[in-house]
Amino acid sequence: MLILLLVVVLGSVGLLFYYDSRLDRIDALRAYAGRPSDTPGTNWLIVGTDSRSDLTEEQRRALATGDADGSRTDTIMLVHNPPGGGKAIVVSIPRDLYVEVPGQGSLKINASFSIGGPALLVQTVENLTGIHIDHYAEIGFGGFDTLVDAVGGVDMCIDQPLNDPKAGLRLAKGCHRLDGRQALGLVRTRAFPRADLERVVNQRKFLAALVSRATSPTVLLNPFRLFGFIGGAIDALTVDERDHIWNLASLMFALRDPITTTTPAGESTFTDEGLALPVNEQTEEFFALLRAGQPIPDDLLVDAGGPS
Protein backbone atom coordinates (compact mmCIF):
# COMPACT_ATOMS: atom_id res chain seq x y z
CA MET A 1 0.00 0.00 0.00
CA LEU A 2 2.85 2.36 0.84
CA ILE A 3 4.55 1.62 -2.47
CA LEU A 4 1.25 2.17 -4.33
CA LEU A 5 0.69 5.46 -2.51
CA LEU A 6 4.22 6.57 -3.33
CA VAL A 7 3.71 5.73 -7.01
CA VAL A 8 0.45 7.72 -7.10
CA VAL A 9 1.98 10.76 -5.38
CA LEU A 10 5.14 10.78 -7.49
CA GLY A 11 3.08 10.22 -10.64
CA SER A 12 0.81 13.17 -9.80
CA VAL A 13 3.76 15.44 -9.06
CA GLY A 14 5.45 14.30 -12.24
CA LEU A 15 2.36 15.09 -14.32
CA LEU A 16 2.08 18.50 -12.65
CA PHE A 17 5.59 19.47 -13.61
CA TYR A 18 5.24 17.89 -17.06
CA TYR A 19 2.22 20.04 -17.91
CA ASP A 20 3.82 23.09 -16.33
CA SER A 21 6.89 22.66 -18.55
CA ARG A 22 4.67 22.66 -21.66
CA LEU A 23 3.16 26.11 -20.99
CA ASP A 24 4.00 28.73 -23.61
CA ARG A 25 5.57 31.66 -21.75
CA ILE A 26 6.39 35.27 -22.64
CA ASP A 27 7.74 38.29 -20.77
CA ALA A 28 4.46 40.18 -20.32
CA LEU A 29 4.92 41.65 -16.82
CA ARG A 30 8.02 43.76 -17.31
CA ALA A 31 9.39 46.27 -14.84
CA TYR A 32 9.18 49.94 -15.86
CA ALA A 33 9.54 53.29 -14.14
CA GLY A 34 6.43 54.23 -12.18
CA ARG A 35 4.86 50.75 -12.20
CA PRO A 36 2.21 50.43 -9.45
CA SER A 37 3.42 48.66 -6.34
CA ASP A 38 1.63 45.55 -5.15
CA THR A 39 -2.10 46.16 -4.61
CA PRO A 40 -4.49 44.13 -2.40
CA GLY A 41 -5.65 40.79 -3.72
CA THR A 42 -4.50 38.90 -6.79
CA ASN A 43 -4.96 40.43 -10.23
CA TRP A 44 -4.98 38.68 -13.59
CA LEU A 45 -5.10 40.20 -17.06
CA ILE A 46 -6.81 37.80 -19.48
CA VAL A 47 -6.49 38.63 -23.15
CA GLY A 48 -8.14 37.05 -26.18
CA THR A 49 -6.35 37.53 -29.50
CA ASP A 50 -7.25 36.85 -33.12
CA SER A 51 -3.86 35.35 -33.94
CA ARG A 52 -4.16 32.67 -36.63
CA SER A 53 -0.44 31.89 -36.86
CA ASP A 54 -0.82 28.37 -35.44
CA LEU A 55 -3.85 27.42 -37.55
CA THR A 56 -3.69 25.46 -40.79
CA GLU A 57 -5.66 26.64 -43.83
CA GLU A 58 -8.14 23.83 -43.21
CA GLN A 59 -8.62 24.94 -39.58
CA ARG A 60 -9.12 28.57 -40.66
CA ARG A 61 -11.89 27.50 -43.03
CA ALA A 62 -13.50 25.14 -40.49
CA LEU A 63 -13.51 27.78 -37.73
CA ALA A 64 -14.42 30.71 -40.05
CA THR A 65 -11.52 32.77 -38.70
CA GLY A 66 -10.60 34.55 -41.94
CA ASP A 67 -7.04 35.14 -43.09
CA ALA A 68 -5.96 38.38 -41.41
CA ASP A 69 -2.27 38.54 -40.52
CA GLY A 70 -0.78 39.76 -37.27
CA SER A 71 -2.39 39.66 -33.86
CA ARG A 72 -4.98 41.97 -32.33
CA THR A 73 -7.07 41.79 -29.17
CA ASP A 74 -10.78 42.40 -28.83
CA THR A 75 -11.03 40.72 -25.42
CA ILE A 76 -9.43 42.32 -22.36
CA MET A 77 -10.54 41.17 -18.91
CA LEU A 78 -9.18 42.14 -15.52
CA VAL A 79 -9.83 39.45 -12.90
CA HIS A 80 -9.53 40.71 -9.33
CA ASN A 81 -9.49 38.12 -6.55
CA PRO A 82 -9.92 40.27 -3.43
CA PRO A 83 -8.08 39.77 -0.15
CA GLY A 84 -9.90 37.90 2.59
CA GLY A 85 -11.57 35.30 0.38
CA GLY A 86 -14.37 37.43 -1.10
CA LYS A 87 -15.97 36.88 -4.50
CA ALA A 88 -13.71 37.37 -7.50
CA ILE A 89 -14.75 40.14 -9.90
CA VAL A 90 -14.33 39.88 -13.67
CA VAL A 91 -14.08 43.27 -15.37
CA SER A 92 -14.37 43.57 -19.15
CA ILE A 93 -12.34 46.48 -20.50
CA PRO A 94 -13.98 47.49 -23.80
CA ARG A 95 -11.58 47.53 -26.72
CA ASP A 96 -12.80 51.06 -27.63
CA LEU A 97 -12.01 52.60 -24.24
CA TYR A 98 -10.05 55.79 -25.01
CA VAL A 99 -6.97 55.87 -22.79
CA GLU A 100 -3.41 57.12 -22.57
CA VAL A 101 -1.06 54.55 -24.09
CA PRO A 102 2.44 55.09 -22.66
CA GLY A 103 4.68 56.70 -25.27
CA GLN A 104 1.91 56.75 -27.90
CA GLY A 105 -0.63 59.36 -26.78
CA SER A 106 -4.39 58.82 -26.48
CA LEU A 107 -5.68 55.76 -28.35
CA LYS A 108 -8.25 53.01 -28.06
CA ILE A 109 -6.91 50.57 -25.50
CA ASN A 110 -6.62 47.60 -27.87
CA ALA A 111 -4.15 49.61 -30.00
CA SER A 112 -1.59 49.15 -27.22
CA PHE A 113 -1.48 45.40 -27.94
CA SER A 114 -1.09 45.92 -31.68
CA ILE A 115 1.72 48.43 -31.12
CA GLY A 116 3.70 46.86 -28.29
CA GLY A 117 2.25 43.43 -27.59
CA PRO A 118 1.38 42.08 -24.14
CA ALA A 119 3.95 44.20 -22.25
CA LEU A 120 2.55 47.51 -23.52
CA LEU A 121 -1.03 46.34 -22.96
CA VAL A 122 -0.21 45.42 -19.35
CA GLN A 123 1.48 48.79 -18.82
CA THR A 124 -1.53 50.59 -20.35
CA VAL A 125 -3.98 48.72 -18.11
CA GLU A 126 -1.85 49.41 -15.03
CA ASN A 127 -1.61 53.06 -16.03
CA LEU A 128 -5.41 53.23 -16.42
CA THR A 129 -6.34 51.35 -13.25
CA GLY A 130 -3.45 51.91 -10.85
CA ILE A 131 -3.69 48.16 -10.18
CA HIS A 132 -0.60 45.94 -10.14
CA ILE A 133 -1.11 43.00 -12.52
CA ASP A 134 0.23 39.81 -10.90
CA HIS A 135 -0.50 37.27 -13.65
CA TYR A 136 -1.10 37.26 -17.41
CA ALA A 137 -2.94 34.77 -19.64
CA GLU A 138 -3.56 35.02 -23.38
CA ILE A 139 -5.71 32.77 -25.55
CA GLY A 140 -5.77 32.74 -29.35
CA PHE A 141 -7.89 30.96 -31.93
CA GLY A 142 -5.59 27.95 -32.00
CA GLY A 143 -6.66 25.32 -29.46
CA PHE A 144 -9.80 27.20 -28.36
CA ASP A 145 -12.19 24.78 -30.06
CA THR A 146 -10.25 21.77 -28.73
CA LEU A 147 -10.46 23.18 -25.21
CA VAL A 148 -14.26 23.39 -25.40
CA ASP A 149 -14.70 20.03 -27.10
CA ALA A 150 -12.49 18.34 -24.49
CA VAL A 151 -15.05 19.00 -21.74
CA GLY A 152 -17.93 17.83 -23.92
CA GLY A 153 -19.17 21.29 -24.87
CA VAL A 154 -20.39 24.26 -22.83
CA ASP A 155 -24.01 25.05 -21.95
CA MET A 156 -25.15 28.58 -22.85
CA CYS A 157 -28.53 30.27 -23.15
CA ILE A 158 -29.04 33.18 -25.54
CA ASP A 159 -32.05 35.51 -25.59
CA GLN A 160 -32.07 36.18 -29.35
CA PRO A 161 -31.25 34.25 -32.53
CA LEU A 162 -27.71 34.81 -33.79
CA ASN A 163 -26.68 34.71 -37.42
CA ASP A 164 -23.18 35.98 -38.15
CA PRO A 165 -21.52 34.47 -41.26
CA LYS A 166 -18.26 36.31 -40.48
CA ALA A 167 -17.99 34.42 -37.20
CA GLY A 168 -19.37 31.19 -38.64
CA LEU A 169 -22.27 31.35 -36.19
CA ARG A 170 -25.93 30.43 -36.57
CA LEU A 171 -27.89 29.76 -33.37
CA ALA A 172 -31.58 29.85 -32.53
CA LYS A 173 -32.85 31.63 -29.43
CA GLY A 174 -32.73 29.39 -26.36
CA CYS A 175 -30.29 27.09 -24.57
CA HIS A 176 -27.57 25.16 -26.37
CA ARG A 177 -24.61 22.95 -25.65
CA LEU A 178 -22.00 24.68 -27.77
CA ASP A 179 -19.17 22.76 -29.39
CA GLY A 180 -15.78 24.39 -29.92
CA ARG A 181 -16.61 25.95 -33.29
CA GLN A 182 -19.88 27.44 -32.04
CA ALA A 183 -18.25 28.73 -28.84
CA LEU A 184 -15.54 30.49 -30.83
CA GLY A 185 -18.22 32.11 -33.01
CA LEU A 186 -20.17 33.26 -29.95
CA VAL A 187 -17.23 35.00 -28.26
CA ARG A 188 -16.27 36.65 -31.57
CA THR A 189 -19.60 37.90 -32.87
CA ARG A 190 -20.54 41.59 -32.67
CA ALA A 191 -23.91 41.11 -34.39
CA PHE A 192 -25.81 43.02 -31.71
CA PRO A 193 -27.33 46.53 -31.47
CA ARG A 194 -24.66 47.43 -28.89
CA ALA A 195 -21.89 45.62 -30.81
CA ASP A 196 -18.77 45.18 -28.66
CA LEU A 197 -20.50 46.18 -25.40
CA GLU A 198 -22.85 43.24 -25.78
CA ARG A 199 -20.11 40.93 -26.99
CA VAL A 200 -18.10 41.42 -23.78
CA VAL A 201 -21.15 40.36 -21.74
CA ASN A 202 -21.36 37.11 -23.73
CA GLN A 203 -17.62 36.59 -23.32
CA ARG A 204 -17.96 36.78 -19.53
CA LYS A 205 -20.96 34.45 -19.57
CA PHE A 206 -19.02 31.98 -21.67
CA LEU A 207 -15.97 32.14 -19.38
CA ALA A 208 -18.16 31.41 -16.34
CA ALA A 209 -19.91 28.54 -18.17
CA LEU A 210 -16.60 27.02 -19.29
CA VAL A 211 -15.12 27.19 -15.79
CA SER A 212 -18.30 25.70 -14.30
CA ARG A 213 -18.15 22.82 -16.76
CA ALA A 214 -14.40 22.24 -16.35
CA THR A 215 -14.64 22.11 -12.53
CA SER A 216 -17.74 19.90 -12.46
CA PRO A 217 -17.60 16.23 -11.35
CA THR A 218 -18.45 15.27 -14.95
CA VAL A 219 -14.99 16.49 -15.98
CA LEU A 220 -12.92 16.19 -12.79
CA LEU A 221 -13.87 12.53 -12.27
CA ASN A 222 -13.41 11.57 -15.92
CA PRO A 223 -9.68 11.20 -16.71
CA PHE A 224 -10.28 11.37 -20.46
CA ARG A 225 -12.08 14.71 -20.22
CA LEU A 226 -9.88 16.08 -17.43
CA PHE A 227 -6.59 15.42 -19.20
CA GLY A 228 -8.13 16.47 -22.50
CA PHE A 229 -9.09 19.79 -20.94
CA ILE A 230 -5.67 20.28 -19.34
CA GLY A 231 -3.95 19.47 -22.63
CA GLY A 232 -6.28 21.81 -24.51
CA ALA A 233 -5.62 24.61 -22.03
CA ILE A 234 -1.87 24.12 -22.34
CA ASP A 235 -2.11 24.32 -26.14
CA ALA A 236 -4.43 27.34 -26.16
CA LEU A 237 -2.83 29.53 -23.48
CA THR A 238 0.22 31.76 -23.31
CA VAL A 239 1.20 33.02 -19.85
CA ASP A 240 3.82 35.26 -18.30
CA GLU A 241 7.21 33.65 -17.78
CA ARG A 242 6.68 33.66 -13.99
CA ASP A 243 3.26 31.94 -14.13
CA HIS A 244 2.67 28.25 -13.47
CA ILE A 245 -0.07 25.69 -13.92
CA TRP A 246 -0.97 25.89 -10.23
CA ASN A 247 -1.63 29.63 -10.68
CA LEU A 248 -4.03 28.77 -13.50
CA ALA A 249 -5.75 26.16 -11.31
CA SER A 250 -6.23 28.79 -8.58
CA LEU A 251 -7.71 31.17 -11.17
CA MET A 252 -10.13 28.51 -12.40
CA PHE A 253 -11.59 27.89 -8.96
CA ALA A 254 -11.79 31.63 -8.21
CA LEU A 255 -13.93 32.02 -11.36
CA ARG A 256 -16.57 29.45 -10.42
CA ASP A 257 -18.99 32.09 -9.09
CA PRO A 258 -17.66 35.59 -9.80
CA ILE A 259 -19.20 39.05 -9.93
CA THR A 260 -18.99 40.25 -13.54
CA THR A 261 -19.13 43.77 -14.92
CA THR A 262 -18.00 46.08 -17.71
CA THR A 263 -15.74 49.05 -17.00
CA PRO A 264 -17.95 52.12 -16.50
CA ALA A 265 -17.23 54.83 -19.08
CA GLY A 266 -18.76 57.85 -20.77
CA GLU A 267 -21.07 57.77 -23.78
CA SER A 268 -19.47 56.94 -27.12
CA THR A 269 -17.96 60.08 -28.64
CA PHE A 270 -15.86 61.11 -31.65
CA THR A 271 -12.08 61.20 -31.14
CA ASP A 272 -9.00 61.24 -33.35
CA GLU A 273 -9.41 57.44 -33.43
CA GLY A 274 -13.08 57.57 -34.44
CA LEU A 275 -15.91 56.66 -32.07
CA ALA A 276 -14.56 55.70 -28.66
CA LEU A 277 -15.58 55.44 -25.00
CA PRO A 278 -14.04 58.15 -22.80
CA VAL A 279 -12.80 57.57 -19.27
CA ASN A 280 -14.90 59.54 -16.77
CA GLU A 281 -15.30 60.05 -13.02
CA GLN A 282 -17.14 56.74 -12.64
CA THR A 283 -14.24 54.92 -14.33
CA GLU A 284 -11.77 56.47 -11.90
CA GLU A 285 -13.99 55.78 -8.85
CA PHE A 286 -14.50 52.17 -9.93
CA PHE A 287 -10.79 51.40 -10.22
CA ALA A 288 -9.95 53.35 -7.05
CA LEU A 289 -12.25 51.03 -5.08
CA LEU A 290 -10.91 47.95 -6.84
CA ARG A 291 -7.25 48.73 -6.18
CA ALA A 292 -8.06 49.44 -2.53
CA GLY A 293 -9.71 46.02 -2.22
CA GLN A 294 -13.07 47.61 -1.41
CA PRO A 295 -16.55 46.35 -2.48
CA ILE A 296 -17.98 47.89 -5.64
CA PRO A 297 -21.42 49.55 -5.17
CA ASP A 298 -24.24 48.47 -7.46
CA ASP A 299 -24.37 51.83 -9.25
CA LEU A 300 -20.86 51.23 -10.62
CA LEU A 301 -21.56 47.70 -11.87
CA VAL A 302 -22.39 47.79 -15.60
CA ASP A 303 -24.17 44.80 -17.24
CA ALA A 304 -23.39 42.97 -14.03
CA GLY A 305 -23.83 39.32 -13.20
CA GLY A 306 -23.25 37.18 -10.13
CA PRO A 307 -23.64 38.21 -6.51
CA SER A 308 -23.16 41.87 -5.63
Give residue-wise pLDDT tens across range 222-239: 888 888 888 888 888 899
249-296: per-residue pLDDT in tens? 888 888 888 899 999 999 888 888 888 899 999 999 999 999 888 889
Residue 6 lies in a domain: no
Q: What's the pLDDT score for residue 70? A: 46
Q: What's the pLDDT score for residue 51? A: 54
Strand blocks (E) in the chain = 24-26, 42-49, 73-81, 89-92, 97-101, 105-108, 135-139, 154-158, 162-164, 169-171, 174-178, 237-240, 259-262, 269-271, 274-278, 302-305
Closest CA to 277 of 264, 260, 290, 261: 264
Q: What's the pLDDT score for residue 195? A: 67
DSSP 10: H
Q: What's the pLDDT score for residue 308? A: 35
Residue 173 lies in a domain: yes
Is 194 a residue whose pLDDT tops 70?
A: no
DSSP 299: G
Residue 224 lies in a domain: yes
Q: What is the pTM of this model?
A: 0.84
Is 5 a residue whose pLDDT tops 80?
A: no
- Residue 163, number of CB atoms within 10 A of its CB: 11
3-class DSSP assignment, residue 214: helix
Tell me, what CATH number does 229's domain have? Answer: 3.40.630.190
C-alpha distances in Å from residue 195, one per residue of 186, 189, 198, 200: 13, 8, 6, 9
17-64: per-residue pLDDT in tens? 788 888 999 999 999 999 998 888 899 999 988 654 554 555 445 444
Specify the number of domains making up the chain. Answer: 1
Residue span of the structural domain in which 192 resides: 26-305
Residue 166 lies in a domain: yes
- Residue 206: pLDDT band with limits 50, 70, 90: confident
